[in-house]
């Protein structure tokens, strides 16, 4: 958690520093914006866990010149192409997923699986009120967490004034390395824990439902939340590590619009 907070703080100061310097020099373009504020991240203690952990994080939503951006877990992203309906690009993101020996008595003698950084390629396309997005993100911090691929569909609608709600289904796929790290059990791990040996294979990790809600409190202040309600699939379900098939992650924030 300490690494996550330090990295998020660095992200926050980087965005404020860069945009602040540009604003002072009167170089900030009209299409640049930045919103910041406190956030809270609630997620399973580890993939397949019954328990939940909370991580306080700075919330950041910043963009400069339709080229660079920083948002949520995306520390820094760049658009290769961006229009009103289509975005394609890459980002360095921070993956808060972890599994610590203290999370469960069964893991007491197992090595921690720490949070990691991922390099992500992504694309989104919007037609009318429907948006489709897809991404592929791979571990670039050598933490044996492999590659994840995700695809989602969203339906967006303004239900009441100043409120926007987006919902829709999605799937999450992982390669063998990710599945082995979080759901597999080696013979050595089985020898030092109550777990039995288990081979976790590449494939679909979950089917999930996404939700995103934002409400404008004023011209400067807003609140929001995003939800990821998943149901584990494939070898993740049968893993001796897994305690609960249903997995829910929530990010909530209060944001102030600087520009």
CA separation, residue 2 to residues 41, 52, 106, 223, 253 (Å): 14, 17, 24, 25, 19
Band (pLDDT 50/70/90 cuts) for residue 20 is low
pLDDT of residue 24: 45
Rounded CA separation 229/51 (Å): 15
pLDDT tens figures, 243-255: 999 999 999 999 9
Band (pLDDT 50/70/90 cuts) for residue 64 is confident
Q: Is 245 helix (H, G, I), strand (E, B) or coil?
A: coil
| pTM for this model (two decimals) | 0.88
Nearest CA to 254 out of 219, 222, 220, 227 is that of 222
In the chain, the number of structural domains is 1
pLDDT tens figures, 24-47: 444 556 678 889 999 999 999 999
Q: What is the mean pLDDT of the chain?
A: 90
Does the structure show a pLDDT above 50 at 22? no
pLDDT tens figures, 122-146: 999 999 999 999 999 999 999 999 9
pLDDT of residue 16: 52
Rounded CA separation 57/251 (Å): 9
Does the structure show a pLDDT above 60 at 11? no
Range of the domain at 157: 2-257
Q: Please report, for the domain that includes residue 137, its CATH number.
A: 2.40.160.40
CA separation, residue 169 to residues 53, 161, 204 (Å): 24, 25, 14
Residue 152: alpha-carbon gap to chain centroid: 13
């Amino acid at each position: 958690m300490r690494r996550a907070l330090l990295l998020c703080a660095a992200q926050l100061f980087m965005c404020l520093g860069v945009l602040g310097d540009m604003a002072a020099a009167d170089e900030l373009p009209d299409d640049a914006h930045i919103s910041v504020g406190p956030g809270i991240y609630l997620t399973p203690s580890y993939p397949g866990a019954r328990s939940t952990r909370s991580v306080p994080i700075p919330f950041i939503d910043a963009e400069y010149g339709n080229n660079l951006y920083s948002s949520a877990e995306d520390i820094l992203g760049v658009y290769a192409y961006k229009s009103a309906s289509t975005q394609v690009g890459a980002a360095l993101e921070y993956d808060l997923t972890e599994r610590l020996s203290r999370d469960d008595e069964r893991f007491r003698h197992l090595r921690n699986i720490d949070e990691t950084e991922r390099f992500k390629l992504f694309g989104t396309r919007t037609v009318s009120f429907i948006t489709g997005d897809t991404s592929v993100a791979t571990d670039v911090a050598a933490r044996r967490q492999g590659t994840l691929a995700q695809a989602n569909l969203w339906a967006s609608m303004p239900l009441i004034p100043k409120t926007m709600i987006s919902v829709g289904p999605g799937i999450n796929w992982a390669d063998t390395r990710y599945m082995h790290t979080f759901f597999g059990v080696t013979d050595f791990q089985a020898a030092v824990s109550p777990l039995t040996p288990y081979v976790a294979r590449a494939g679909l990790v979950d089917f999930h439902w996404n939700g995103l809600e934002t409400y404008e409190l004023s011209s400067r202040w807003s609140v929001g939340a995003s939800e990821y309600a998943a149901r584990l699939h494939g070898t993740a379900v049968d893993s001796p590590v897994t305690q609960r098939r249903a997995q829910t992650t929530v990010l909530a924030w209060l944001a102030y619009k600087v520009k």
